Amino acid sequence: MRIVYLVTTLAMGGAERQAITLASRMRERGHTVAFLVLRPRIAEQWATALPVVYLDMCKTASSVLYGFAKGRRFLREFRPDLMHSHTFHANLLARLLKAAAPVPVAISTVHNVYEGGWKRMLAYRLTDGLCRLTTAVSHAAARRYVRLRAVPERKCQVISNGFDASVFAPSVERRTRTREAMGAGEDFIWLAAGRIVAAKDYPNLLRAFAAVTASRARARLWVAGAGELDEASDLIALGQQLGVQEQVRWFGRWRDMPALLDAADGFVLSSAWEGMPLAVGEAMAMEKPVVATDVGGVRELVGDAGLLAPPMNSGELAKAMLDIMRMPQANRHALGRAARKRIQACFNMDAKAGEWARLYRAMTGKN
């Protein structure tokens, strides 16, 4: 089968990494795979050995027209059996390209419960006829898009994110080494990971962490994630205002997440909205006790292998964090082991790749 994956960018986000991992699994299964990327190449992005064509689209009409023509030309030469796009801009372009190039089947995937306002939902609705199927990474996301009439229920299917438990596997030796290198000492380390954007609601996390430290709990907060300088500056200022900046470490973009997760004692997600966050699943695979806000597909992912708190409620988030910290160590470790078993049983990446392969065959009639 010849498959094109279309993404907006290869920036170091969860949706992009999930698309790259899936594409790599498809190539391992013997399929011919390539990427179309809307935006230009950037310095910090996910690496891939797969062929990549950049359409170099920016916010100018000329670049959009040029990129569209380049994409159509590539598709006519590549002649895919299927085009699978991810996130709003790529989904919309894929549908328009299907109308202009020989692409038998187009599948769109939404990775978040919120991909924009009513204009974007209307765009999805108006272009739905150009797409064979829309998939969502969680039931929560699927329900919302169906309710907004952006996707017809009969054309919406859920295939959740997958996680590679062989890459995200705990190591006692690495934990010791990383904690020593980071000077963690005996403090309880909370790790949060994700870009510094509004969806992650880091102000909520800082207020919750301030409540944790006010209880005299010995804790530190590590945050790994790139973001805009202004947003990061605002968070640093908030940390200073709350009196916790000395206990908070901002790592920025961090490549070796397994090591950082190993060093942590717990993982915390403070998001206001989500699809199905990869960082939570990776923390679970690393046997970390998880505290997360009950948004999007988080409940579907965590199940009973972690603690949930309402979104935008720093008091409840702090309470859940303290509940984890006050657990006997044996109980925390048991919760972490249950989390890893849940990932292996329900969200294994190889099993998810098999799900996608079966869907592709059903859509195209090809092996």
178-185 long-range contacts, CB within 8 A, separation 24+ = 178/259, 178/260, 178/262, 178/263, 179/263, 182/222, 182/263, 184/220, 184/263
Separation between Cα atoms, residue 314 and residue 293, nearest integer Å: 10
Alpha helices in the chain (DSSP H): 14-28, 61-78, 88-100, 118-127, 139-147, 172-182, 202-214, 229-242, 257-263, 278-285, 298-302, 314-326, 329-346, 349-364
Nearest CA to 94 out of 132, 44, 122, 40 is that of 132
Residues in the chain, overall count: 367
pLDDT at residue 43, as a whole number: 86
* CB-CB contact of 107 with 132 (8 Å): yes
Chain Cα centroid distance, residue 149: 24
CA 122 to chain centre: 24
Q: What is the pLDDT of residue 44?
A: 84
The DSSP-derived string for 43-54 is SSB---SS-EEE
pLDDT in tens, the chain (367 residues): 999 999 999 988 889 999 999 999 999 999 999 999 999 999 888 999 999 999 999 999 999 999 999 999 999 999 999 999 999 999 999 999 999 998 999 999 999 999 999 999 999 999 999 999 999 999 999 999 999 999 999 999 999 999 999 999 999 999 999 999 999 999 999 999 998 999 999 999 999 999 999 988 789 999 998 876 556 788 999 999 999 999 999 998 888 899 999 999 999 999 999 999 999 999 999 999 999 999 999 999 999 999 999 999 999 999 999 999 999 999 999 999 999 999 999 999 999 999 999 999 999 998 8
Short-list 238, 254, 235, 248, CA closest to 194: 254
Domains and CATH numbers, the chain: 2-162+348-364 (3.40.50.2000), 172-346 (3.40.50.2000)
Structure tokens at 277: 């966050």
